A = this chain, B = another copy of it.
Amino acid sequence: MTNDMAPEEFRRAGHEIVDWIADYLANIREYPVLTARKPGDLIDALPAQAPETGEPIERILADFREQVMPSVTHWNHPRFHAYFSVSASGPGILGEMLTAALNVNGMIWKSCPAAVELEQVTMSWLRQWLRLPEEWFGQIYDTASVSSMHAVACAREQAFPEVRTEGGMRGAVAYTSEHSHSSIEKGCIALGVGQNNVRRIGSDADFRMKPEALEAAIRADLAAGLKPFFVTATVGTTSTSSIDPVPAIADIAERYKLWLHVDGAYGGSACVVPEFNHYLRGTERADSLVVNPHKWLFTPIDISTFFTRKPEILRQAFSLIPEYLRTAADPRALNLMDYGVQLGRRFRALKFWFVLRYFGHEGISHILREHVRMAAEFAGWVGGDERFELAAPHPFSLVCFRMKAGDEATKRLHQALDDSREAFLSHTVLNGRYTLRFAIGNIKTTDEDVAATWTLIQRLASEIIA
Q: Which residues of B are found within 8 Å of A256, using beta-carbon distances? A: none
Is A4's CB within 8 Å of the partner chain B? yes
Once the chains bind, are A360 and B25 in contact (CB under 8 Å)?
no
A32 CA / B248 CA spacing, docked (Å): 55
Is A94's CB within 8 Å of the partner chain B? yes
Q: Which residues of B are found within 8 Å of A49, using beta-carbon distances? A: 125, 128
Is A216's CB within 8 Å of the partner chain B? no
- For the complex formed by this chain, how many copies does it contain in all? 2
A37 CA / B116 CA spacing, docked (Å): 13
Q: In the complex, how many angstroms separate the beta carbon of A99 from the nearest chain B beta carbon?
A: 8
Is A454's CB within 8 Å of the partner chain B? no
Q: In the complex, how many angstroms separate the beta carbon of A191 from the nearest chain B beta carbon?
A: 6
Q: Which residues of B are found within 8 Å of A412, using beta-carbon distances? A: none
Q: In the complex, how many angstroms separate the beta carbon of A255 from the nearest chain B beta carbon?
A: 24
Once the chains bind, are A344 and B96 in contact (CB under 8 Å)?
no
Once the chains bind, are B96 and A96 in contact (CB under 8 Å)?
yes
Instruction: Give per-residue flags for A72-85: 1 if the beta carbon is below 8 A from chain B beta carbons, else 0.
Output: 11011000001100
Instruction: Give per-residue flags for A101-133: 1 if the beta carbon is below 8 A from chain B beta carbons, else 0.
Output: 111110001111110011011001110110000
Could you tell me the dominant secondary structure of chain A's interface residues? helix
Is A51's CB within 8 Å of the partner chain B? yes
Q: In the complex, how many angstroms separate the beta carbon of A102 from the nearest chain B beta carbon?
A: 6
A401 CA / B189 CA spacing, docked (Å): 44
Once the chains bind, are A318 and B167 in contact (CB under 8 Å)?
no
Once the chains bind, are B444 and A3 in contact (CB under 8 Å)?
yes
Q: Which residues of B are found within 8 Å of A187, using beta-carbon distances? A: 341
Query: What's the interface size class on A, roughly?
Result: 35 or more
Once the chains bind, are B129 and A324 in contact (CB under 8 Å)?
no
A15 interface neighbour in B18, B239, B333, Cβ under 8 Å: B18
Once the chains bind, are B104 and A93 in contact (CB under 8 Å)?
no
Once the chains bind, are A190 and B100 in contact (CB under 8 Å)?
no
Is A258's CB within 8 Å of the partner chain B? no
Q: Which residues of B are found within 8 Å of A420, using beta-carbon distances? A: none
Q: In the complex, how many angstroms separate the beta carbon of A410 from the nearest chain B beta carbon?
A: 14
> Among A17, A18, A318, which residue has the most Cβ atoms of chain B within 10 A?
A18
Q: In the complex, how many angstroms separate the beta carbon of A204 from the nearest chain B beta carbon?
A: 19
Within 8 A of B (CB), among A86-104: 86-94, 96-104
Which of A38-46, A217-225, A376-384, A385-393 faces chain B? A38-46
Q: Which residues of B are found within 8 Å of A323, using beta-carbon distances? A: 239, 427-429
A146 CA / B345 CA spacing, docked (Å): 12
With A89-B4, A146-B342 as given contacts, are A17 and B97 in contact (CB-CB < 8 Å)? yes
Is A363's CB within 8 Å of the partner chain B? yes
Within 8 A of B (CB), among A143-172: 143-146, 149, 153, 156, 163-172
A144 CA / B182 CA spacing, docked (Å): 24
Once the chains bind, are A169 and B186 in contact (CB under 8 Å)?
no
Within 8 A of B (CB), among A281-306: 294, 298, 300-302
Would you list 23 pairs from A and B whose C-beta atoms are within 8 A, ordered by A residue? A4-B443, A11-B19, A14-B93, A21-B98, A39-B330, A46-B118, A50-B125, A50-B129, A54-B363, A59-B357, A71-B117, A72-B112, A75-B102, A75-B104, A88-B100, A96-B96, A142-B302, A142-B342, A163-B192, A166-B197, A170-B170, A190-B341, A324-B437
Please give me the 8 A-B residue pairs with the lowest Cβ-Cβ distance, nearest first.
A167-B194, A192-B192, A5-B90, A14-B18, A96-B100, A50-B125, A39-B332, A71-B114
Given contacts A14-B22, A54-B357, list 7 more A-B pairs with CB under 8 A: A4-B90, A10-B93, A72-B112, A72-B113, A97-B100, A100-B300, A167-B195
